[in-house]
Structure 1
Amino acid sequence: MKISLNFLKKKSNYSGDITGISIYWKNSMHGLPGRKISEREFDLKIPFTNKNYESLSFLKKSDTTEIVQGIEVRSPFKLVSVEPQLPASIKSGESIEFNIKVSAPEYNYSGPLVLKMVPKPVEMVHVELPDIIAVNGEKRVKVNEHGEVKSIEKGSNFEISMQMYRILTYNDTVKGVSVNKPFEFVGSEPKLPFTIDNKSSFVASFYIKAPEFDYAGTLELIFEKQNAEQQSASAPAS
């Protein structure tokens, strides 16, 4: 049986002023209002929402779950406890509230409180693309002037943009795109099918899933055009 002995505690004469609370997560910082503290140990509630769904969908990882591996408190404060227990997984669009107990320094303190939420370490893959080739039937065009070297989070996607007039012509309709293994085509902007309907310039972006391992070699984007019969059949009646 747990018996509370709070009535035996002496009244605290501790006095502190937290002027602001800064919370760091990856490359961003979030602020919470400061507060007065009258006990050396005090509780904080830290809300966390996984907003991966707000990112451009094609650039997201296939698994958008965020994992908070740990929470660190900058000196002179000390972390006493965290609920729920870490590591904690938060799915895309979901929220969680961390209940944190913090110990203040022995002296009366006035100043900021800084916390760092530590993500689970990510695996990276190294991708070297000496050539990016666009393919339309027997026509092959080199897209990049120079080779590209990328360090990409494993399971994530990257973007290739190109001027479509380098490989296709005005009024062509692209109905499909494929890429060579070990890459995987994810999507495009504009979305498929799309028609090259601007006579001066037409730039499209293609989103490619990186391989699960380090890779050096050529990336080929193979375009499938809609033929004339299909194009005329899909055109709106005048």
Structure 2
Amino acid sequence: MNAGINADQGRATRYLARVNLEIVKAASTRRQAHGRGAGARLPASLAGAPVQLVNLKARRPDGGSEAVTLLGYQTARRRLPEILAALGADDPRLAAAQMLADAAERVGAVKGADWQGADSNGEISDGGATTKVKHAARLRMIEALANGWPIDRRHGPQRAAVRVALAVKRKGSQRQPILAFAALSALCVDGLDLGEILRRSGWSAQAFNRNPLRDALLVILDDVAEGLGLGRMVQKKVVDGI
């Protein structure tokens, strides 16, 4: 009797394991857009960032645009929030956003790593130390550029007051100020849209809040891109006498 019950339980367990595996495989395939259009894809994985299939275009010097994606194909790229998806393929702000996301993912993929470049004991660990230091340094540089901190040639970024992307103007409000680097990370690394970033800090996601946040983030991305040597999309305003 017990042998029969155990055999049934074993079959049920194996069946559920197969079902769960198929669910994970199907979700991984969808996440990396396998089977949708022609072109290379990352291996199916839930750990990889989800992708979207797009037709990329690049801006020409004359102001027009030309196709980057081959006719009949689509390019698989990381699924982007709307504000980033609207940028051109050759926009330095998009390149800066992708560099931030890539560095954060690579630091997170190294066991024991944090973006400050140290392990849990405050020391550089042996495993993946070179990768960790390289990408943690890039994160610190991006943080400094987003905040407008001075960069010392010998000692690197010098921490100072943090930049605020969206300040609270009304006293007694439940809103929290939205800090530049935190908002940039939420956008580029976590893939949050403007509404989600606003709600996390107690703001409503209405257009009169979304628009100023969008404008601020695009300026911050421009500052980061310029500091990384990628170029600048929108020229800074020049004030007479300064």
Structure having the higher strand fraction is 1
The TM-score, its normalising length taken from structure 2, stands at 0.18
The TM-score, its normalising length taken from structure 1, stands at 0.18
Q: Which has the larger radius of gyration?
A: 1
Report 1 or 2 for greater relative contact order, CA contacts < 8 Å, sequence distance ≥ 6. 1
